[in-house]
Amino acid sequence: MFTIKTEVRSKDKKPNQLRREGIIPGILYGRSLESPISIQFSESEVTRLLKNNTAGSKVELNINGEKHISLLREVDYTPASNKVEHLSFQALQADEVIESVAMIVFENRDNIKGLLQQSLSEVTYRALPKYMVDRIEIDLDGLEIGDTIRVGDLELAKDPNVELINDPDTVIATVLDSTPVMDQDADDQDTLVEDSSTDASTDTGDETEA
């Protein structure tokens, strides 16, 4: 679990002013807290955090020396520059079932002969904190053209400690044939051109004999 240092955010400065100073605002909320805690991070700490973590990852927050096990709920970005604008965390309790998401990661993508068409990027589920995962790795090795992976095929779907929110029949990805398919209309057009050329040659021959 990743640990990130943070501190309680001062209310004297507005979020936009903090960002200009290289500080990213955030918030920690949850049932175990009397009230949400406004926090702030250095840009370098946030960069380290997001290098290997995403929404749905468990994170240990060190707030002024006090540790909080939490779930990274949301990462907000500015539309124009795509820079991190705000982070939201939910404090976790060992006996509280939480709804979260797990990112889908494909392995051995280069080993399939066809084209992988991905339809789902994350899976939503409910579980106690100790059973939570932030990513689901799917090995594509051995898949053939026409094969389909569904939510119900995942190991997570077989875990009795996890309740899937997605329908088990939801398609995650399908292997398609990457061989180019000739346009039937183009084939028909070529046939028409060939037929026209043949007719023209026949007509010319008839006129010559006459």
pLDDT in tens, 155-209: 999 999 999 999 999 999 999 998 766 655 555 555 555 555 555 555 555 544 4
DSSP string across 95-114: T--EEEEEEEEEE-GGG-SS
Q: Where are the domains of the chain?
A: 2-92, 99-176
pLDDT in tens, 58-115: 999 999 889 999 999 999 998 888 899 999 999 999 999 999 999 999 999 999 988 9
Q: Which of 164, 20, 15, 161 is nearest to 88 (CA)?
A: 15
Percent of the chain with pLDDT over 70: 85
Check whether 38 has a pLDDT greater than 70. yes
φ/ψ (deg, to 5) at 207? -65, -35
Containing H/E element for 173? strand 171-176
- Class level of CATH domain 2-92: mainly beta
Residue 129 per-residue DSSP state? G
pLDDT band at 210, cuts 50/70/90? Answer: very low
pLDDT band at 15, cuts 50/70/90? Answer: confident
Q: Which of 37, 49, 99 is nearest to 75 (CA)?
A: 49
CATH fold of 99-176 reads: RNA Polymerase Alpha Subunit; Chain A, domain 2 (2.170.120)
